[in-house]
Structure 1
Amino acid sequence: MALAQPRSPQSAWKKLRQVFAAWREFDGILLMTVLVLTGIGIVAIHSTVRERPISHYWLQQLIMAGIGLVPLLALARIPYERFLRWHWVTYALTLAGLTAVLFFGSAGGGAERWLSIAGIQIQPSEFAKLGVILTLAAILHHWPIKYFSQIWVAVAVITPPWVLIFLQPNLGTALVFVVILLAMLYWAGAKGSWIILLMSPGVGAILYGLHTRPELSWMLWVWLLWCLGMASMAAWRLPWRWTGAVTFGVINLLSGHLGQVAWHFLKPYQRRRLEIFIDPAQEPWGSGYHLIQSRIAIGAGGLWGQGIQQGTQTQLDFIPEQHTDFIFSAIGEEMGFFGTLTVLILLWIVCVRLIFIAQGAKDNFGSLIAIGVLAMILFQSVVNIGMTIGLAPITGLPLPFLSYGRSALLTNFLAIGLVESVVMHRQRTTFFT
């Protein structure tokens, strides 16, 4: 029997070159930025729960990052176009997971949001974000927005999962769905004025609700001007003119009263969060205490921070949920202005890379996937950081890649894997196209 010939250095080098060629388009900057953010988050989580029964959280986050890296790289190698033919299956699985939470979910934080599978807690609402992005990207790929009436197809698709999320109740994630929808509609061709008209009832309800507070009674005039402005915009930007003006004028007038009805559908803790956002000082030892302590922690960090595991607010548990919702407060206190600025720059790099990828995608489907992921990450980052410094109400949204949360971290890694697939399977372009 003939002996096997040893592999020549030329053939080994050729195979190595083929491997490098296969990953040539991979966006290493995006992946490295995500990994650095995740590393900062693990360090902060370890610091916030040091020497306590829940000190294993940082290790779980580290393990999940390692696990999530595998499907991220696998998705990057799979042509993303394959998901185009399976988008209704993805949509059905999304609805099935959200429906299962309502019947079999376990309580956590006042809401039914978790499924226990083989002893592991899974949050279907996190994976639903990715399912909605894929479904909307497929629909808007087939039917780009050319007329205002086409918007309602996308709205009809997102309504069932949105309702299921709202019923859990999970108001923060429900808002993420809305932002994803608006961003993807705009990228698919919807005019900015159409997006404003679509948002107008919600804004009108908020303005009307604010005027009920004695110190904000003047907001009633702002609400009336808003209703008039939306009627004028509809007459100017919609083809139906007077019909559109009357329709959106009436909708915004009714939205004020409908907002009062919706207010009573919120859970007591959700209403209290919104009230505390307006005036945290009204309960300095109650619900407003958390927000006040968060501000103190960030301010106490100074330029360079008090040091890892040295922050007084963090180490003495003055801040609640500091390894999840308020991880940015812990970073601000222990890593200082330098640490928070580093986090902001890294998040900015992720968002910029996603915009470049959306611009350079070879088709609408890939471009819309990148924009959907951008909307998800950017909105959650703005709201989470905003709530720690008092610029946004407390919603429970995690800070992407930094807050503890296995389902959230895995979802974000899967999202980056899909975007990397868009990069690797596009036509070769220049950096800024």
Structure 2
Amino acid sequence: MSRVMRDSMGPASLFSGTNDVTRRRVRFATFAWLPVGAALGMSLLGISAISLTRPELAARQGIFLFVGILAAVLATIPHPRMLRVACWVLCALVLGLLVFVLVPFAPASLVTPRNGARAWIALGAFDLQPSELAKIVFILCLSQWLSIRASPRSLRSLIVPALLFIVPVALIVLEPDLGSALLFGPTLFAILVVAGARLVHLSTIIALAVCLIPLGYFAALKPYQQARIDAIVAQVRGDTRFENDIGFQGWRAMRLVGSGGVFGNEESHARALVKLNALPEEHNDMVFAVVCCRYGMLGGGLVWLLMAIYAAGALLVAASARDGFSKLVAVGIGSILFAQTFVNTGMTIGVLPITGVTLPFVSYGGSSLVASWIMTGILLAIGMHRVGSGEKDRFDE
């Protein structure tokens, strides 16, 4: 080696390659892999449950899973700071879609009511549900607004967060999709708590909302929604009056859950039980009952274990994030999917009214699965870009 070459290779040159490798290793060493692994486990469990009675839909769900994972990978490419800029554009786009499905003169080929709800836009082989995208945009916009301001310590500082909450929720309720709308509440609460809102203010708002429940029951709910609440109250009391009408789905779901016992049933026996039970939406909203029938309490417990891992991973990502926006987004993603799992499993086992909420990663449906994987990709992006960002928000001060 010539002297010129030796002189040109100082210590920085010798170790630059090693430093690059170390940076890459540190970048990929993130808690966000916990949600990724949990999401994959729940997705595969869902395909297994769907294939029990709907093998053709299980194949489509496999395609949706591929698209969802691809969307998650694409979500990791941009730096999270790009979402801070793009979130308001995405908000306008999603609000436009939510309004579009409500327009009476929207083409029937694009917007066709299902089960009385105008919640989907037909795009050929894929149906888009704007409310699923609204969950993501709500988390991003709320986190961005709170991160660029000091902690919301006054009631006045909660006005904009309240508007960001009310507008999409009102549009979703008008579809009507009360179940999806209810998920925004616990998500808002979790993000505000982490952002530093006073618990006394949040408690006051919650107490006011609870006091308005009777008024909402009579003034805002439609007769069939009131009947569902009446059915769940009767169900908890052991009253079978609604077993063959409005409470039909709930009773069938509970029986299917109980038929699985602790360890579940063989595939052929479980398939026969599901078919004989004639449970509506067994591949979608009620897929948790199928999981319990096939794999027993162990299968149902596995779903909750995986979701607990997912939520814990999201909190760990939030704890390791360097900026307020990323912290709040991670908390929001973990809380909304955890709340969704709680509501879905609760209505399946008969402790909550049936609201049409899907089980994240498990229920059949392209919009729900892809949206959940996009949120998982955002978590991974936050985890991978946490090192060396050096960003600070007023939220962090």
Aligned to 1:140: 146
Q: Which amino acid aligns with 1:43?
A: S
Aligned to 2:361: 401
Aligned residue among 30, 38, 42 for 2:35: 30
What is the rounded CA distance, in whole Å, between the counterparts of 2:195 and 2:53 in structure 1?
42
Instruction: Point out the more displaced range, 405-414 or 20-29.
Output: 20-29
Cα-to-partner distance string for 1:117-152 (whole Å, 9 max, x where unaligned): 245321111111101111101001112312222111
Task: Using the TM superposition, give the Cα deviation of residue 17 of structure 1 relative to its aligned residue in structure 2, in angstroms.
Answer: 5.0
What is the rounded CA distance, in whole Å, between the counterparts of 2:385 and 2:305 in structure 1?
28
Aligned to 2:46: 41
Aligned residue among 198, 203, 214 for 1:196: 203
TM-score normalised over the length of structure 1: 0.79
Aligned to 2:234: 279
Q: Which amino acid aligns with 1:138?
A: Q
Aligned to 2:261: 302
CA RMSD for the aligned pairs?
Answer: 2.2
- Whether 1:176 and 2:136 are equivalent positions in the alignment is no
Q: Which amino acid aligns with 2:74?
A: A
Task: Using the TM superposition, give the Cα deviation of residue 20 of structure 1 relative to its aligned residue in structure 2, in angstroms.
Answer: 5.4
What is the rounded CA distance, in whole Å, between the counterparts of 1:316 and 1:324 in structure 2?
17
What is the rounded CA distance, in whole Å, between the counterparts of 1:350 and 1:127 in structure 2?
20
* Kept after mapping to 1: 8 A contact 2:265/2:296: yes
Q: How many residues align?
A: 360
* Kept after mapping to 1: 8 A contact 2:318/2:331: yes
Aligned to 1:219: none
Where in structure 2 are the equivalents of 1:51-62 lying within 5 Å?
55-62=55-62
Aligned to 1:266: 221
Mind listing any 5+ residue stretches in structure 1 that lack a counterpart? 1-12, 50-54, 210-257
Cα-to-partner distance string for 1:373-408 (whole Å, 9 max, x where unaligned): 112101110010011111111011001000111000
Task: Using the TM superposition, give the Cα deviation of residue 364 of structure 1 relative to its aligned residue in structure 2, in angstroms.
Answer: 0.8
What is the rounded CA distance, in whole Å, between the counterparts of 1:164 and 1:267 in structure 2?
16
Task: Using the TM superposition, give the Cα deviation of residue 61 of structure 1 relative to its aligned residue in structure 2, in angstroms.
Answer: 0.9
Cα-to-partner distance string for 1:295-341 (whole Å, 9 max, x where unaligned): 11111111210122422431324311111111111111111111111
- Whether 1:325 and 2:285 are equivalent positions in the alignment is yes
- Whether 1:418 and 2:373 are equivalent positions in the alignment is no
Instruction: Point out the more displaced range, 317-326 or 264-273.
Output: 264-273
What is the rounded CA distance, in whole Å, between the counterparts of 1:193 and 1:389 in structure 2?
33
**Structure with higher RCO (Cα < 8 A, 6+ apart):** 2
Aligned residue among 109, 115, 125 for 1:109: 115
Cα-to-partner distance string for 1:199-218 (whole Å, 9 max, x where unaligned): 22221133xx3xxxxxxxxx
Aligned residue among 170, 174, 185 for 1:167: 174
What is the rounded CA distance, in whole Å, between the counterparts of 1:267 and 1:395 in structure 2?
13
* Kept after mapping to 2: 8 A contact 1:298/1:329: yes
What is the rounded CA distance, in whole Å, between the counterparts of 2:216 and 2:224 in structure 1?
17
Instruction: Point out the more displaced range, 101-110 or 130-139.
Output: 101-110
Task: Using the TM superposition, give the Cα deviation of residue 191 of structure 1 relative to its aligned residue in structure 2, in angstroms.
Answer: 2.1
Aligned to 2:5: none
Aligned residue among 111, 127, 133 for 1:127: 133
CA, structure 1 residues 119+330, in 2 after alignment: closer, same or farther (shift >3 Å)? closer
* Kept after mapping to 2: 8 A contact 1:308/1:335: no
Q: Which amino acid aligns with 2:183?
A: V
* Kept after mapping to 2: 8 A contact 1:351/1:374: yes
Q: Which amino acid aligns with 1:377?
A: L
Task: Using the TM superposition, give the Cα deviation of residue 192 of structure 1 relative to its aligned residue in structure 2, in angstroms.
Answer: 2.1
Partner secondary structure for residue 278 of structure 1: helix
CA, structure 1 residues 361+19, in 2 after alignment: closer, same or farther (shift >3 Å)? closer
Task: Using the TM superposition, give the Cα deviation of residue 28 of structure 1 relative to its aligned residue in structure 2, in angstroms.
Answer: 2.6
Identity %: 29
What is the rounded CA distance, in whole Å, between the counterparts of 1:25 and 1:99 in structure 2?
42
Cα-to-partner distance string for 1:213-232 (whole Å, 9 max, x where unaligned): xxxxxxxxxxxxxxxxxxxx
Aligned to 2:65: 65
Task: Using the TM superposition, give the Cα deviation of residue 178 of structure 1 relative to its aligned residue in structure 2, in angstroms.
Answer: 1.9
Where in structure 2 are the equivalents of 1:193-272 lying within 5 Å?
193-206=200-213, 209=214, 258-259=215-216, 263-272=218-227
Aligned residue among 290, 311, 317 for 1:357: 317
CA, structure 1 residues 77+309, in 2 after alignment: closer, same or farther (shift >3 Å)? farther
Aligned to 1:238: none
